[in-house]
Structure 1
């Protein structure tokens, strides 16, 4: 078979969200940190991301993770998160997928009943604890990077909607968080088109009116993702809530979203609604669940921060090779409006 590029990929999803893992076909790139490597691919070799995520090889509702040698000497492996519109510094579902693939393919030896490893991400070092049995990762828990609130109850003017109150928090990505009732909707599939359309409009309005900057890496700035939330509820020995995350260019995260959960934990803690060590079960629009808690607190620059731990499951779905024929007219793929949502200008 003729090919100018061949990538070896393990298909995977975590609680419904696709997070395939490239395990071969890409050489390492220069960089003292994983964030440096992220910038390299973003500015010098973005063709890989476009090739695997755009049609005809990809689709709107998927991510791909790229395994690379780590930069941090404490890490067992490094990886970058490729999304449709960006390179995310961190992602919970993608961390769970990557850890599952590393262990279930034997790239990192699995130890039963518990395997511990460290993953180097563009947001920092992430510790992973995998519960393993019979060669399968039953659950993967990760100790996320410190998460914190940039601002609560920001009034954002959204054309056609008026003033919307928005929280902005860091959970490994910069999130805008909006209560579903404030936009007259519920986190249910029947409201899917409206949730996506309104969510994209609010996100763009936040981007125009408020720019959070990470105190430890000023290059990480600006909201790129939005969570629409339902109220916190009391359960037997835990608290629970539902949310959906609107990922650009306009689709739902199928999982409860690990970084979004971390950002929400920071907001709930700042509001006094959840305590350190208290169990929180976060549900997605398809009712999959992450089990989470705050394992401690810290400071990030001037911000009070929480240390979230998020636990979920992933399943390998395929083993495949993605190739690019030298005469393929779409080396960067393409997008079509019936699947790739394009928001109406506000």
Structure 2
């Protein structure tokens, strides 16, 4: 018996296997086996159950030494709606998000490649239940292989436009709040004397968290479906005043100062809702979103206008491609005193 067999047999209850992917440079770690049963009637119940009962497994996969401070993950669960082909929870180093666009793009390809949905040329539809609602992915399928994907969002809307806040050290800051499956603060980075080219990632992330805390202390969010969705997930910084350009630089800082390597699918969804609200994009027009640091990009467009109760909203489409980076088997030895670290 080799050392690997000995360790895994001794710790068989803690073996978790994953498929590793990335979209736009942002990690997608999909837990494909090893998770215990996740209990709950609804997907938000399952999210709460994981937070309250299985959070040590999230930390094991997301944090060092198996992960890192910018890791992102997916936990497949049983769907509670018949329309869905699959259902998932999203994880990161702070907890559990309710929507993730870059992961949805990767999951579309993964679902076709792994037979969750049978591939159909030229495009296969994959319906994914996320904590924020049902999202539909359209996955390119040619010669038996899945490729790039685009997903249709849940209704996206502006919660509060043209807001102001006095931020210590910076004075009056202008911002907007928009929902793209989760809530973000949208703000022009240049107001802080920062820019994507020369400012450090640390300075950008620190400023974003200061802004998010200040806005969260001032603004009470609500959501029409469930107030589990009503929280500030992150900040989308963009460069310069908004106009009717066809390309926008942006960077998403979310959770506990995690810096997205992709342009952020849910953030771009909310961005399109904001641009539409301000009259800067029309239905059917394509906009490109480029990460200000990594230069990876997504395309997005407004598909149609809808209403969420009395609130004007839009369904948007975000497109990109997920790539495989490997497969892993993770375990934790029984006498390991530090199953995970999170250093900030």
TM-score calculated relative to the size of structure 2: 0.92
Q: Is the 8 A contact 1:213 1:221 kept in 2?
A: yes
Match of 2:261?
254
Match of 2:123?
114
- Offset at residue 135 of structure 1 (A): 4.2
Match of 1:46?
55
Match of 1:172?
181
Match of 2:248?
241
CA distance in 2, matches of 1:254, 1:279: 22
Greater shift after overlay, 76-85 or 37-46? 37-46
Greater shift after overlay, 243-252 or 308-317? 243-252
| Secondary structure of 1:196's aligned partner | helix
| Secondary structure of 2:279's aligned partner | coil
Q: Is the 8 A contact 2:140 2:147 kept in 1?
A: yes
- Offset at residue 137 of structure 1 (A): 2.8
- Offset at residue 189 of structure 1 (A): 5.9
Match of 2:218?
209
Match of 2:3?
none
Match of 1:192?
201
| Secondary structure of 2:35's aligned partner | coil
- Offset at residue 57 of structure 1 (A): 0.7
Q: Is the 8 A contact 1:216 1:300 kept in 2?
A: no
Q: What is the total number of aligned residue pairs between the two structures? A: 333
- Offset at residue 187 of structure 1 (A): 2.2
C-alpha RMSD over aligned residues: 1.6
1:293 maps onto 2:301 in alignment? yes
Q: Is the 8 A contact 1:295 1:308 kept in 2?
A: yes
Match of 1:302?
310
Q: Is the 8 A contact 1:203 1:226 kept in 2?
A: yes
Match of 1:142?
151
Greater shift after overlay, 54-63 or 24-33? 24-33
CA distance in 1, matches of 2:265, 2:144: 24
Which residues of structure 1 form unaligned runs of 5+? 341-346
CA distance in 1, matches of 2:197, 2:143: 36
- Offset at residue 30 of structure 1 (A): 2.5
- Of 76, 86, 89 in structure 1, the residue corresponding to residue 85 of structure 2 is 76
- Offset at residue 127 of structure 1 (A): 0.7
CA distance in 2, matches of 1:229, 1:305: 22
- Offset at residue 20 of structure 1 (A): 1.1
TM-score calculated relative to the size of structure 1: 0.92
Greater shift after overlay, 177-186 or 256-265? 177-186
Q: Is the 8 A contact 1:187 1:228 kept in 2?
A: no
- Of 310, 331, 336 in structure 2, the residue corresponding to residue 328 of structure 1 is 336
CA distance in 2, matches of 1:8, 1:134: 28
1:95 maps onto 2:104 in alignment? yes
- Of 124, 132, 144 in structure 2, the residue corresponding to residue 123 of structure 1 is 132
Which residues of structure 2 form unaligned runs of 5+? 1-6
The verdict on how the C-alpha distance between 1:154 and 1:14 changes in structure 2, with shifts beyond 3 A counting, is: same
CA distance in 1, matches of 2:36, 2:116: 16
CA distance in 1, matches of 2:224, 2:28: 29
Greater shift after overlay, 210-219 or 186-195? 186-195
Match of 1:263?
270
- Offset at residue 190 of structure 1 (A): 4.1
Q: Is the 8 A contact 2:138 2:151 kept in 1?
A: yes
1:9 maps onto 2:12 in alignment? no
